[in-house]
Structures are given as structure tokens and as C-alpha cells.
Amino acid sequence: MSPAAQTIPAWVDGQLQPVEKLSVHLRGLRHQAISVFVMRGRQVLIQRRALGKYHTPGLWANTVCTHPHWGESHADCAARRLREELGITGLPLTHAGTVEYRADVGGGLIEHEVVQVYTAEAPADLRLAPDPDEVMDTAWRDLDRLAEDTRTDPRRFTPWLRLYLAEHAETIFGAAAPAG
């Protein structure tokens, strides 16, 4: 099954239902999502989305951003996608909170997400094994510098990463949130 054909939890007529992912984004339905920020002190691991992704290819995003399968727990989804996208296993995840946003991601697609956000602290020797179908590059970026870069050169970053840093940094990072 192609990633776009997977069913994800979305609200239809006020009820959470399994809906095909591409349909969710074409219709702009409010749906469940997961985001993970792997940190090393004040540095955050970001990924550049593979060029084959069906939306926002080639843009920089947070460590992992995804949708749970129908019936999958949020924490299990976060751990699964860390492993599948970046080869990361065994990091304890901390639930940082819930954020909601709506953003046009191009190509007639809308992300209207209710996101369970997780953070994890990485050891200095964390090994990455990115899946090239998902991730074309990774980088460790200082959180303050990343926030500044999303403001000064927004075209390089996914809409959700820009929104997280501009509007939800305190929820995600607490006292470590970037200034400004």
C-alpha cells in the first residue's frame, strides 16, 4: 500500500473514523497526527523530506511528522516512525502536549492536524540510518538558529515546522523555547 493510501483517524461529521490519507488532505479534514523532536541539549534533529514525498518534498521538517494508523496508539506511532524513517530505536519519548493547526501544503492539499507532540533526548553517539524514500538529509540545528531561519527563509521549511516554532514553541520546548 502506498503511504498516501493508508487510512488515518479523521473526524467526519463529528466522529473519528478511518479515512484514506490522501482523501483527508484533499478534503482538509481535521485529523490525528504525531510529531517528534529529538533533542541533544539545545540542538534539534531535523530532516529534509525525500523528493518522492507526495507533499512538501525537499523541505526541512522536525525529526518525525506522521499520522497514526487507525487503532494505533500515539506513542507507538511515534516510536514506529522514528525507527522506520531514521533508524532510531530505544529513545524514551516524553509527551510534550497537543497542538492543532491548519496549513496549505501545496498541490491542493490541506493539513488540519491535531498533533500529539513528543520529545526525546538523544545521546551524543546516536546513530541514524535514514530511509532514502522518506528522508534525503538530516542535520542537528541550534533551536534558536532554527527558529530564526524559519522566519528569514521560510521557503526551505515545512509549514508545520514554521508554525510549531512561531506559535507552539512553549508547549513543545517549555523553558527551552527559542526567544522571539
For 125-158, the DSSP string reads T------TTTEEEEEEEEHHHHHHHHHH-GGGB-
CA-closest candidate to residue 106, choices 60, 63, 54, 66:
54
Beta-carbon-side half-sphere exposure of residue 88 (alpha carbons within 13 Å) = 25
Produce one character per residue of 159-177: b if its CB has 16 or more CB atoms within 10 Å, e if not.
bbbbbbbeebbeebbeeeb
Distance CA 140, CA 38 (A): 9
User: Length of the chain in residues, anyone?
Assistant: 180
Distance CA 161, CA 147 (A): 9
3-state SS class at 169: helix
Q: What is the CA radius of gyration of the chain?
A: 15
Is 113 a catalytic site residue?
A: yes
Catalytic residue among 77, 85, 111, 113: 113
Catalytic residue among 20, 65, 100, 170: 65
Is 77 a catalytic site residue?
A: no
Catalytic residues: 65, 113
